[in-house]
């Protein structure tokens, strides 16, 4: 009865993590679409899977960071014995400077360099998304994961722009 959840293949996961590490933490819908298209070569995947992955990854990264900071603070406040440093007070309160709502500016792709996510993908993302950053499309996919062409006069072509040759990766 319950629909099975999507589970990224190792290769898909690696690409996602790589993109994230390279600075793409908040992809717009166009970028999500491109990523989805690329990753779909390695297994069934939908737009929303990618979308949620970035949402969750960012949130939990942040969570982890907060937790660390909290632990640091506790360490400093609890341990009355030799606070590790007498240098100009890297005080606990400094840690609170962690910015909660940075209103993150659009991440530009030149922050993202060559990656497992193929240079072609980077090129495509740059040329087709960032160059018209104002014209964000909303791109749709059917829930069953079928490739759901979204034709608005001329269809949006995506997959054929990515390398089709095998990468030697096993899923």
Partner DNA sequence: GCAAATTAATGATTTATTCAAG
Partner DNA sequence: CTTGAATAAATCATTAATTTGC
Chain residues that interact with DNA, rule: CB under 7 A: 2, 4-8, 26, 28, 48-49, 52-53, 55-60, 62-63, 100-104, 136
Closer to a second copy by Cβ: residue 93 or 133: 133
Contact 14, 118 (CB under 8 A): no
CA 13 to chain centre: 10
Helix, strand or coil, per DSSP, at residue 92: helix
Site string (21-50) toward a second copy, x via CB under 8 A: -------------------------xxx--
Q: Which two tokens stand for residue 122?
A: 């980077």
Among 77, 140, 163, 171, binds a second copy (CB under 8 A): 140
Give the residue among 125, 96, 99 at the shortest CA–CA distance from 110. 125
Which range in 9-17, 57-65, 72-80, 138-146 contacts a second copy by CB under 8 A? 138-146
**Rounded Cα gap, residues 46 and 6, in angstroms:** 9
Distance CA 166, CA 112 (A): 23
When asked if residue 130 is in the footprint of a second copy (CB under 8 A), the reply is no
47 binds, among DNA, a second copy, none (CB under 5 to 8 A by kind): a second copy
Q: Which residues lie near a second copy (CB under 8 A)?
A: 3, 46-48, 134-144, 146-153
């Amino acid at each position: 009865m319950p629909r099975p959840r999507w589970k990224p293949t190792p290769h898909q996961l690696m690409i996602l993590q790589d993109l994230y590490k390279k600075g793409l933490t908040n992809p717009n819908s166009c970028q999500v679409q491109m990523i989805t298209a690329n990753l779909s070569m390695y297994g069934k995947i939908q737009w929303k899977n990618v979308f949620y992955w970035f949402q969750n990854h960012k949130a939990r990264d942040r969570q982890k960071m907060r937790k660390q900071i909290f632990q640091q603070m506790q360490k400093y406040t609890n341990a009355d014995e030799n606070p590790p440093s007498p240098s100009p007070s890297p005080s606990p309160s400094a840690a609170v400077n962690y910015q909660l709502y940075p209103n993150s500016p659009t991440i530009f792709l030149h922050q993202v360099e060559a990656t497992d996510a193929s240079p072609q993908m980077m090129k495509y993302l740059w040329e087709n998304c960032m160059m018209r950053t104002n014209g964000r499309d909303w791109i749709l996919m059917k829930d069953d994961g079928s490739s759901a062409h979204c034709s608005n006069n001329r269809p949006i072509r995506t997959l054929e722009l990515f390398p089709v040759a095998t990468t030697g990766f096993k899923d």
